[in-house]
Chain A
Amino acid sequence: MDFLTIIQVLDSTVRLATPLLLACLAGLYSERAGIFDIGLEGKMLMAAFFSAAVAAVSGSVWLGLLAGIASSLVLSGLHGLASITFRGNQLISGVAINFLAAGMTVLIAQDWFKQGGRTPSLFAGGRFEPINFPFAEALSGVPILGPIYSELLSGHSILVYLAFLAVPGTWWVLYRTRFGLRLRAVGENPAAVDTAGVSVVGLRYAAVAICGVLCGIAGAYLATALQAGFVKDMTAGRGFIALAALIFAKWRPWQAMWACLLFGLLQAIALRFQNIDLGGVVIPVQVMDALPYILTVVILAGFVGKAIPPRAGGEPYVKER
């Protein structure tokens, strides 16, 4: 592989890691607060559809983004209602939300656009355009650093930069603010938070809402930046890979970024090369496709250090039996 190919692969790694990262951070907020969320996939999908649909109709990608976030928030609210207010099973709620999104998006798309469950293709204005850094063009000739600057760092949509900025942001919120302290506490021992005079329900809804916003951005990125419109099932398991990355990262923000980049890299490689020939041994593309999932299982098996989830995770906070 020559240098330029490597840059190209890394460039697409960044693009492909972005939705994973946003979803992964979304999951991080929710799960750190003790609400497991296997509905990331569904929220992203819903947001992808609504962002594309509204962007297509209004011609404004920003309105699309807002619509995407709003739709994802609605599903978050549903998850909150089920798992916080009604103390239901969080996993089952997540499963339901995934199905709901898979069905509703196509149903609404068909009703609105009559294009077989997709939105019309988005054109300029309806999409997030790449942002080119100053002098990117001019510097591209500089050896090594030039392509890194102009190809790898420059030329992504604003949501990509937003996603990567959200990493230090999340770290700061989690470990340096009152809200973060309480959030982490409520995922470990909600009774401690409750008796300290802080509302468990409020905190958890806040976490679930942040999760919704981030999933909304992730979905909007898929439909209005990475692609130009919504197609059925376009999240293609990304929500689950994000979840895998979250476990891989042991629910920590920086590690989440590296995990998402790793999974993005795997995807980028699998996308570009069908079967990879490693000196005689041919790795079939199916192995590359399955690699993030296999890795997750390996991690869960504890071979790469044990991943201990937030202690109160998955359990509704019940005071009165």
Chain B
Amino acid sequence: MERPLKMDKMPKWADVVLIPVISLILAAILSALVIVAIGEDPVEAVNLMVTGALGSTYGWGYTLYYATNFMFTGLAVAVAFHARMFNIGGEGQAMLGGLGVAMVCLYVPWPHWSLALLAACAGAMIFGAAWAAVPAYLQAKRGSHIVITTIMFNFIAAAVLNYMLVNVMRPQGSMDPASARFPEAVHLPTLHELLAPIGISFSKAAPANVTLLVAILACFVVWALIWRTRLGYEIRAYGHSETGALYAGISPVKITMIAMLISGALAGLMATNNVMGEAERLVLNSTEGAGFIGIAVALMGRSHPFGVFLAAILFGFLYQGGAELALWTSIPRELIVVIQALVILFTGALDNMVRMPLEKMFLAMRKGKA
């Protein structure tokens, strides 16, 4: 019997690399058009963004700081994607993670930052996972659509945080709805402090800190989890086929719960970076939309931890570059929101617009060869 036709419509590299890159280029072209339309010079803008975000250790410090956030939320979305769930609740989970971190840092006297970081990670993961637990449970047991419930939980999280900061955690006499500053002992070493001993001078002011390493570690752990463990096998199998999972004795309820809890925990972990590493206190809206950017990051990164890592750095660059634009030009920071929207649009929703012609092309090429 002859070897059957290769049924894949196109090679894997095209799917994993070519399509995202083309989508990204399209998004970039449209972004440039937007910049032109508001009467600015896109070349100039890109210049400013690049020097602002990558031109100094200071810029890198911010880029990596944001990237750390996005790695966590991107991984969160990616893990849920593997189980074919769309977790839009990263924002709320990260907010609650912040609450967990703040409690750990404020209410326990820590002797050293490393212990505090471990405990804060635990707190962040528990709170983030807890916030994902209800939507997960409702999806698993009641079939309530996770997208809607997680959106709702984002709003509810904002209200909870609001209540906690206004009525519970605000120090006596303080006017802002924010927690007290964390004690000096839980101060996390920044890249400046980490790199100084090995002779690299890194900007002192930039907030990138040791949690970057935690995020990179998380990328590895998620990779191993998804592709090297039984649980990952089950998550992927469930994500590909629910009836298949049932057949193989993989409990949909269990996988839905576990995948979402892991996802929530990862989103919650982000708080170790922004709350503990940067602000060193809990403020309203400390997540700054990173939960949503996680969606774009996971889509761009094709839900692979390495892809997520790269996409997070790209978005970190966009974020820091955008902040620079807002500082030095009259281009509002919202330009970044637009770019982010375009990336989600092209890599996510309009994926087929790029894919279909490419598939035709590869098909024609193959037929031409045969």
Question: Measuring CB to CB, which residues of chain A are less than 8 angstroms from any residue of chain B?
Answer: 38, 78, 81-83, 86-93, 95-100, 102-104, 106-108, 110-111, 114, 117, 237, 240, 243-244, 247, 284, 286-287, 289-290, 293-294, 296-297, 300-302, 309
B134's closest neighbor in chain A, by CB? A297
B149 at the interface (CB under 8 A from A): yes
Pick from B144, B337, B340, B356: contact of A86, CB under 8 Å: B356
B163:A284 contact, CB within 8 angstroms: yes
Pick from B147, B342, B350: contact of A91, CB under 8 Å: B147
Interface pairs A-B: 4 shortest CB-CB? A103-B337, A99-B341, A93-B349, A103-B338
Contact flags (1/0) for B6-46 with A, using CB distance below 8 Å?
00000000000000000000000000001001110000000
B34's closest neighbor in chain A, by CB? A107
Q: How far is the CB of A34 from chain B (nearest CB, A)?
A: 15
Known interface pairs A89-B349, A302-B144; A297-B153 also in contact (CB < 8 Å): yes
A86:B350 contact, CB within 8 angstroms: yes
A240's closest neighbor in chain B, by CB? B151
A-B contact sample (8 more), CB < 8 A, given A96-B345, A103-B335: A81-B350, A89-B351, A103-B336, A103-B340, A117-B334, A297-B156, A300-B145, A301-B142
B292:A99 contact, CB within 8 angstroms: yes
**How distant is the Cα of A287 from the Cα of B151 in the complex, in angstroms?**
17
Q: List 26 A-B contacts (CB under 8 A).
A: A81-B350, A82-B345, A88-B351, A88-B353, A89-B349, A92-B344, A93-B349, A96-B341, A96-B348, A100-B345, A106-B332, A106-B337, A107-B335, A110-B334, A240-B155, A244-B152, A284-B167, A286-B160, A286-B166, A289-B159, A290-B155, A290-B158, A294-B152, A297-B134, A297-B135, A300-B148
B349:A83 contact, CB within 8 angstroms: yes
A300:B149 contact, CB within 8 angstroms: yes
Known interface pairs A86-B356, A99-B344, A302-B144; A290-B138 also in contact (CB < 8 Å): no
**How distant is the Cα of A275 from the Cα of B144 in the complex, in angstroms?**
31
Query: In the complex, what residues of B have CB within 8 A of residue A296's CB?
Result: 148, 152
**How distant is the Cα of A220 from the Cα of B356 in the complex, in angstroms?**
37
Pick from B155, B163, B340: contact of A293, CB under 8 Å: B155
Query: In the complex, what residues of B have CB within 8 A of residue A107's CB?
Result: 34, 38, 331-332, 334-335, 338
Known interface pairs A286-B162, A287-B159; A89-B348 also in contact (CB < 8 Å): yes
Query: In the complex, what residues of A have CB within 8 A of residue B37's CB?
Result: 111
Q: How far is the CB of A229 from chain B (nearest CB, A)?
A: 17
Query: In the complex, what residues of A have CB within 8 A of residue B162's CB?
Result: 286, 289
Query: In the complex, what residues of A have CB within 8 A of residue B282's CB?
Result: none
Q: How far is the CB of A279 from chain B (nearest CB, A)?
A: 20
**How distant is the Cα of A220 from the Cα of B292 in the complex, in angstroms?**
27
Pick from B135, B344, B350: contact of A95, CB under 8 Å: B344
B130 at the interface (CB under 8 A from A): no
B47 at the interface (CB under 8 A from A): no
A301:B344 contact, CB within 8 angstroms: no
Query: In the complex, what residues of A have CB within 8 A of residue B340's CB?
Result: 99, 103
Query: In the complex, what residues of A have CB within 8 A of residue B155's CB?
Result: 237, 240, 290, 293
A86:B352 contact, CB within 8 angstroms: yes
B292:A95 contact, CB within 8 angstroms: yes
Q: How far is the CB of A43 from chain B (nearest CB, A)?
A: 13
Known interface pairs A297-B134, A297-B149; A92-B299 also in contact (CB < 8 Å): yes
B172 at the interface (CB under 8 A from A): no
A104:B349 contact, CB within 8 angstroms: no
**How distant is the Cα of A243 from the Cα of B330 in the complex, in angstroms?**
35
B86 at the interface (CB under 8 A from A): yes
Pick from B142, B334, B349, B350: contact of A106, CB under 8 Å: B334
B334:A96 contact, CB within 8 angstroms: no
> Which chain B residues (156-177) contact chain A, with CB distance < 8 Å?
156, 158-160, 162-163, 166-167
> Which chain B residues (121-158) contact chain A, with CB distance < 8 Å?
134-135, 138, 142, 144-145, 147-149, 151-153, 155-156, 158
B323 at the interface (CB under 8 A from A): no
**How distant is the Cα of A300 from the Cα of B152 in the complex, in angstroms?**
11
Query: In the complex, what residues of B have CB within 8 A of residue A247's CB?
Result: 148
Query: In the complex, what residues of B have CB within 8 A of residue A90's CB?
Result: 349
Query: In the complex, what residues of B have CB within 8 A of residue A243's CB?
Result: 148, 151
Q: How far is the CB of B332 from chain A (nearest CB, A)?
A: 5
A104:B338 contact, CB within 8 angstroms: yes
B151's closest neighbor in chain A, by CB? A240
B79 at the interface (CB under 8 A from A): no
**How distant is the Cα of A302 from the Cα of B348 in the complex, in angstroms?**
31
B312 at the interface (CB under 8 A from A): no
B295 at the interface (CB under 8 A from A): yes
B80 at the interface (CB under 8 A from A): no
B88 at the interface (CB under 8 A from A): yes
Known interface pairs A82-B349, A92-B348, A293-B155; A302-B134 also in contact (CB < 8 Å): no
> Which chain B residues (337-370) contact chain A, with CB distance < 8 Å?
337-342, 344-345, 348-353, 356
Query: In the complex, what residues of B have CB within 8 A of residue A103's CB?
Result: 334-341
